[in-house]
Structure 1
Amino acid sequence: MKDENLVDKETYKKASKRVGFKIHLTVFVIVSLMLWLIWFFVFKRDAPDADVTFLKAILFVDCFWILILISHYLIVYRWNKTLIEKEIKKIELENEVLKKKMAQLKKESEESEVK
């Protein structure tokens, strides 16, 4: 019963992170679209050759936010899984080494008792 709860908690945690990423992506698309529409209808329409400060600001925000989204995606879908798998393999290797050392120590102690 405890294993089922653990799996359910892990599944819930993973699903929660994925939903968080999808919400983040949705917010990005909505905000970016609004900024581009504001630029198009307010700034570009009135003076096509006007100062491009707002355009540069939108481009900067979009580029920066895209980098954050890529990082968020990699953390949720890629890195987290591979980091956990690497850590599990490392722990398993350490356990094997410890088991071998314990077996060797046990064998040595048995040999010393026989003598």
Structure 2
Amino acid sequence: MENEKDDKLWKKAEARVGFKKHLTTYILVNIFIWLVWYFTTAPYYDGFPWAAFVTLGWGIGIVTNYIQVYVNDGVDVTEKEYEKLKNRERR
């Protein structure tokens, strides 16, 4: 039982570290992309910045990853529902 808890905590820790690395990469790459856009296109172009497509598209992935790691917290929804039903039956 103790090893099972340790395994779950280890996987949760790995997922959170992975998210932080993903977020850091996202921020650094997007800063670079926006700088490239600014110094090559911005002075000559009046329309929608192409760099926004990268930021928004990848941002959706970041939000999804955040929800998976911090909100759902690795708990299986089916397992949660099973426990809820099991507790009702005991009453």
TM-score higher than 0.5 = yes
Residue identity in the other structure for 1:71: T
Please provide the CA RMSD for this pair: 2.8
Structure 2 unaligned spans of 5+? none
Q: Distance in 1 between matches of 2:73 and 2:14?
A: 14
Bigger drift between 71-80 and 88-97 goes to 88-97
Q: Secondary structure at the match of 1:31?
A: helix
Q: 2:54 aligns with which of 61, 64, 72?
A: 61
Identity of aligned residues (%): 33
The residue number in structure 1 matching 2:34 is 36
Whose helix fraction is larger, Structure 1's or Structure 2's? 1
TM-score, normalised to structure 2, is 0.77
> Aligned equivalents of 2:78 and 2:27: distance in 1?
34
* Moved segments of 4+, more than 4 Å: 94-97
Name the larger-Rg structure: 1
Name structure 1 gaps, 5 residues minimum. 100-115
Q: TM-score, normalised by structure 1?
A: 0.63
Matches within 5 A, 1:74-89: 74-81=67-74, 83-84=75-76, 87-89=79-81
Letter in 2 for 1:62: T
Counterparts of 2:27 and 2:84 in 1: how far apart (Å)?
Answer: 43
Q: Is the counterpart of residue 5 in structure 1 residue 17 in structure 2?
A: no
State how far apart, in whole Å, the 2-side matches of 1:42 and 1:85 are: 48
Which has the bigger relative contact order, CA under 8 A and spacing at least 6? Answer: 2
Aligned residue pairs total 91
